[in-house]
Structure 1
Amino acid sequence: MKIIRACIYPKDIQCITGRSERYGRKLLNEIKVHFGKEPHQFITINEFSEYSGIEIDIINEYISN
């Protein structure tokens, strides 16, 4: 069974969107506020997909590489 990460990081967002890593950090903070998460909590791929509108399959392609 292939293990795929559950969490998404700023570097992943940089690869997916083509924006800067700083933009990825900013976006993760916005997603945390949107979902009512604490600063120390992680953002899952499902939450990122729901917020950004990018399909999970596309996100998994970038993360698995």
Structure 2
Amino acid sequence: MPRICIYPKDVAQLTGRSYDAAKRLVRRAREAAGKPAGALVSVRDFCQLTGLDEGEVSEALNRKSA
């Protein structure tokens, strides 16, 4: 089953940022999507903030977890 949520660890590995910088980026994506603190962040939410291609990010996440 394909993953649709993204976590700071994933963001750190995908972008090469530190874990703390990835946490801030995920928090910004959550806020930009209008979600409350603690809500899950989808790949779509993250990609809308960063401008990354949703298909490429999903492919990388699903390849990594397989």
TM-score class, shorter: 0.7 to 0.9
- Is there any run of 5+ residues in structure 2 with no aligned partner, and where? none
Query: What does residue range 6-17 of structure 1 map to in structure 2 within 5 Å?
Result: 6-17=4-15
Query: What does residue range 1-65 of structure 1 map to in structure 2 within 5 Å?
Result: 3-64=1-62, 65=64
The percent identity for this pair of structures is 27
Count how many residue pairs are aligned between Structure 1 and Structure 2: 63
TM-score of the two chains, using structure 1 as the length reference = 0.86
- Is there any run of 5+ residues in structure 1 with no aligned partner, and where? none
Q: Within 2, Cα distance between the matches of 1:58 and 1:28? A: 18
Aligned CA-pair RMSD: 1.0
Deviations 1:32-57 (A, max 9, x none): 22121111211101111111111012
Counterpart amino acid of residue 30 in structure 2: K
Q: Within 2, Cα distance between the matches of 1:8 and 1:38? A: 16
Moved over 4 A (4+): none
Q: Within 1, Cα distance between the matches of 2:47 and 2:29? A: 10
